[in-house]
Amino acid sequence: MNRRWTARLALASGVAAVAVLLVFAGIASVVLVAVGLAGIALTAAGVWWLLTHTGWVRALAALLAVAAPITVLVLYAAAGLLWVVLVSLGLWSLALSAGRAALSDGGAPGMPERSAGRPEHPFLIMNPRSGGGKVEKFHLAERARELGAEVVVLDPDHRQDVAELARQAVRDGADLLGVAGGDGTQALVAGVAAENDIPFMVISAGTRNHFAMDLGLDRQDPSTCLAALSDGVEMRVDLGHIEAGEADGETTERVFVNNASFGAYAAVVQSPAYRDDKARTVLETLPDLLTHHAGARLRVRAGSLTLNAPQALLVSNNPYGRGDSAGLGRRERLDSGELGVLGVDVASAAEATELLLRGGRGRGLTVATAREVVIDADTPVIPVGVDGEALLLRTPVRCRLPSRELRVRVPRHRPGVPRSAPPVDWRRVRRLALTMGRTAAGRDPA
């Protein structure tokens, strides 16, 4: 089905969603929509009060967040119109999906790549605990050695300096560095590879594998990543840098392949109790952090943009796509030379509701890009999460993004980067649906 017919499906589904309400509910359809919106607003308010209060207020907020949607469903069922609402929502979901598909032109072209010869002395570091034991499950060490790689499997009972292991390997003649592990370990070794201008290889043996996903690698079977040793191509991608002083006074510079987080989330993960009881730690610490009764007040400068006292800040190695229905976790490019900036500053239940009703768009969320981001605060030291690792850094903290600094070796044949669907622009969908002939088939009339 071409884009023109997909746009027509989107329009037809949207009209049908409204028609179902009008035909089967009549004037009551207005009440149905109003009740639904009220339920969403009350749920959002309940969640906000749950996160920002303690004691009996939190208990009432939790009750509201649960009771509001249930009450809406009961009211629909009592009126005998629950099926009407469900059918209308299903049609509207189809309309949104078809609208995004119609506006998608296949996404931006992939990152440039070039053929690469087989490395003579590849050196791979593997963490046996990553991803619940994927190194052993997929026999990654054995397979890599069969392909001629030197493999070091980390000792889970003793902490090892993976960056120093990588530097020693380079001194011993390694012409490729690779990691089977989480994004934090990937970043440390990637920094060494960039310093020495040798290729870096990612093996998707971590839990989330965000960096591997954005490189288009297979996250289900990490053994397929080893094909880069025998039939690989090379890409140049960006590598984020964070510069600051550490709490002990020493100056430090680290790299990140995904992001650096500041504010509420970074403060929560600093707690010693977070690892053992995440939910309880979050609920105990968030109220003071979100209401600025605890934690540092950040001052952020991202290019020409200034943010004062955001509750949370995420600086990413290239911006995340906002059309991803799975969340802000997907980057279609890693070579734009731009940091992604996401700032959250929700001051009230009303702003939390606005964010929910507008699909993540509203006064409480700032989205931008910049080549450099500087974070200062009213305290000399702030918590920072760098690719999931909790740090304490002295302010100001500077994030920058040297363009295409890292050489990445990936398999020639791989799944590819999933494309994020664009937000639905109904004017563009309508123009595309009504355009006839070669114009519709050849280019987007919008």
Written as tens digits, the pLDDT of the chain (446 aa) is 588 889 999 999 999 999 998 888 888 888 888 999 899 899 989 998 998 888 999 999 999 999 999 999 999 999 888 999 999 999 999 999 888 888 876 555 678 899 998 999 999 999 998 888 999 999 999 999 999 999 999 998 888 899 999 999 999 999 999 999 888 889 999 999 999 999 999 999 988 788 998 999 998 999 999 999 999 999 999 999 999 877 666 777 899 999 999 998 888 877 777 666 777 777 777 787 778 778 889 999 998 899 998 999 999 999 987 654 334 567 888 999 999 999 988 888 787 777 776 666 667 788 899 999 999 999 999 999 998 888 899 999 999 998 888 999 999 998 876 666 677 888 888 898 888 544 444 455 55
The confidence score (pLDDT) of residue 398 equals 95
Using alpha carbons, select from 341, 320, 315 the residue that is nearest to residue 331.
320
Are 414 and 217 a contacting pair, CB within 8 Å?
yes
46-62 burial: b if 16+ Cβ within 10 Å, else e: bbbbbbbbeeeebeebe
User: Could you tell me the CA-to-CA distances from 292 to 273, 297, 355 in Å, in that order?
Assistant: 21, 7, 20
pLDDT value at residue 244: 87
Tokens for 412, please give them.
């020639």
Would you put residue 90 in left (φ > 0), alpha (ψ -120 to 50) or beta? alpha
pTM: 0.83
Torsion of CA 399, 402, 407, 410, to 10 degrees: 60
C-alpha dihedral sign at 206, 212, 217, 219: positive
- Could you tell me the CA-to-CA distances from 335 to 176, 211, 225, 260, 402 in Å, in that order? 20, 13, 21, 18, 10
Residues in the chain: 446
pLDDT in tens, 344-383: 888 887 877 777 766 666 677 888 999 999 999 999 999 9
Runs of H (alpha helix) within 358-415: none
